[in-house]
Amino acid sequence: MAEMSHVVMCFRVVRILGMPDPASANYQEKYKDLTNCVTDNVIAYHFSFILITSQLYTLKAPTCSNSHSETELKMPVDHVGFAIPTAKYEELVKWYVTALEPLGYSKQMDIPGVVVGFGTSKHESDFWLNAKGDVRGSTPGWHVAFKAKNHETVDKFHAAALKVGGTCNGKPGIRENYHPNYYAAFIIDPAGNNIEVVNHAPH
């Protein structure tokens, strides 16, 4: 079963010591300890935003360390959606129906001309397209990655997406700059979004 791998605008926080209470006397000291524990390319000011807005004040994890052997806390993503200009909506829906089929995705909810939800199981959608009139500049530039079960699925996605008008933004292959088993392909959809499918398993 495919699942969302990552979304650029969602943040991953690891080894949280416990969210400090801003009213506490030693808040600044605790805040410094927390930001020092943020690793895996999470920028400190992003973490500051999470610290201010998150309601996860009761979460605890093991003592902070740079060791990757410790348990990591991942922030879950329930679903993601793109606002699509009405003029391009039907084109994008058809494109994603074909491009995501190799991943096991299909329409799970559809209000024609308004919104469509894609998912891998009945009545559960984690990827949405929403018609939003004359949307200007809000969708191009988004990056979403879907997790594939194997390399063949990555290859099939790339081929299917190209066949229905996608633009290659990276052929299927290993990206060792991420890690030795990072096998991915990238496609620009008809609205300008960067769609990736990735498999992390050793080959």
Q: What is the pLDDT of residue 84?
A: 87
Boundary (domain end) residue, out of 38, 61, 76: 76
CA-to-CA dists, residue 85 to 47, 96, 112, 139, 200, angstroms: 32, 15, 14, 9, 34
Let me know whether 118 and 27 are in one domain. Answer: no
Let me know whether 19 and 102 are in one domain. Answer: no
List of the chain residues with pLDDT < 50 = 7-23, 27, 30-32, 34-73, 75, 138-139
Let me know whether 14 and 90 are in one domain. Answer: no
Q: What is the pLDDT of residue 51?
A: 34
Let me know whether 51 and 103 are in one domain. Answer: no
pLDDT, tens only, 165-200: 999 999 999 999 889 999 999 999 998 899 999 999
Let me know whether 6 and 82 are in one domain. Answer: no
Let me know whether 149 and 175 are in one domain. Answer: yes
pLDDT, tens only, 142-152: 889 999 999 99
Alpha carbon distance 67, 9 (integer Å): 25
Number of domains comprising the chain: 2
Alpha carbon distance 109, 115 (integer Å): 8
**Dihedral sign computed on CA atoms, order 15, 18, 21, 26:** negative
- Structural domain containing residue 56: 1-76
Boundary (domain end) residue, out of 59, 76, 93: 76
Let me know whether 151 and 162 are in one domain. Answer: yes
Let me know whether 92 and 62 are in one domain. Answer: no
Boundary (domain end) residue, out of 32, 60, 76: 76
Q: What is the pLDDT of residue 64?
A: 36
Let me know whether 87 and 159 are in one domain. Answer: yes
Let me know whether 141 and 63 are in one domain. Answer: no
